[in-house]
A and B are shown apart, each in its own frame.
Chain A
């Protein structure tokens, strides 16, 4: 017979996994701060230093001219677009087959492919493509495309992994194959989030193509911001529409 004091003596909830993870991360953080030689004194210098560097960017050199800046921006948007289209087309099937809950065996291979694609920095990929297609925006688009495939596959597979499998079971119970289940149960559920990832990647790719040296730094900041703002609005609108329909 359990008395009141027995109940009191029962162990409390064990130290949760989340607590351990938090503790480990905190420890890693402290070790890292020491390892990179961080000092509080340095932080005091940051605002002044940043202000000094930012002052170089002001005032905007209007004389440089829109006619020189605009084509460069258009080109970097085109590079990002082609790169994202390549990545979207390649990553959608990879993401579906990379879900370990649906295809445990194939998922391993897909994961290795996507990790390999992600290990190459874009700049290095561009260097590999230059002897094949020549120096220019095409090499940049291919580099951005390949490196985006890795990330989009990974994110897409995670979305598929996290979905509700009731509908998949329903399709299979009704006699549908795995592939049919993909089309009618998985795709409609994951598409809104996957498209949001595509749009987000497009946005990242515009910045990446700027880094690839197509657009010089300086006066383009304002225009680039407008493009990001526009994509942000469009992506939100598309998400809402897809979720509603």
Chain B
């Protein structure tokens, strides 16, 4: 496989890798670094890639493992990830502002979930992967995935219905 073929191979899922990395690492900068790192790792496997049924699933698994390792080493060195880059969107009408605020707020709630639940929400509710696929990436069985997903969704609902104060969290 030459470089062009590889670039075409990763094109459909490189953003997916980035989004998953960002869900865990929060910072866009770090998620970009992670994506770069993972795709280069994939590129060095090159010839071995034929052995995998789905390169995309492999990439997602590598992303999960890589980012969890990153977080672990970061925790070990006592560095805190800075949550400072919630996307800036153009200022607009009052109603639109409120909507955006509540969207940001949803993001904050999701990003406060435990890592495993964050991964599952990302894969299911955002990337719309089938349970079978998620089970493979997470290395868990489908029942456990459903349980964790349900728990995560309920936690989000709790935050949204109980407090219901946009922008104060």
A interacts with B:
no
User: A residues touching B (Cβ–Cβ < 8 Å)?
Assistant: none
